[in-house]
Chain A
Amino acid sequence: DAGITQSPRYKITETGRQVTLMCHQTWSHSYMFWYRQDLGHGLRLIYYSAAADITDKGEVPDGYVVSRSKTENFPLTLESATRSQTSVYFCASSQFLGEKLFFGSGTQLSVL
Chain B
Amino acid sequence: KQEVTQIPAALSVPEGENLVLNCSFTDSAIYNLQWFRQDPGKGLTSLLLIQSSQREQTSGRLNASLDKSSGRSTLYIAASQPGDSATYLCAVRFQGGSEKLVFGKGTKLTVNP
Contacts and interface: CB of A to CB of B under 8 A. Distances in A.
Interface of A: 40, 42-43, 45, 48, 50, 56, 58-59, 90, 92, 97-106
A104 B49 contact: no
A59 B104 CA distance: 15
A43 B105 CA distance: 8
Interface residues of B, number: 21
B64 to A, nearest CB: 13
B99 A103 contact: no
Contacts of B45: 103
Interface of B: 31-32, 34, 36, 41-46, 49, 89, 91, 93, 99-101, 103-106
29 contacts: A40-B105, A42-B89, A42-B103, A42-B104, A42-B105, A42-B106, A43-B44, A45-B100, A45-B101, A48-B99, A56-B99, A58-B99, A58-B100, A59-B100, A90-B44, A92-B43, A97-B93, A97-B99, A98-B31, A98-B32, A98-B93, A99-B49, A100-B34, A101-B44, A103-B36, A105-B42, A105-B43, A106-B41, A106-B43
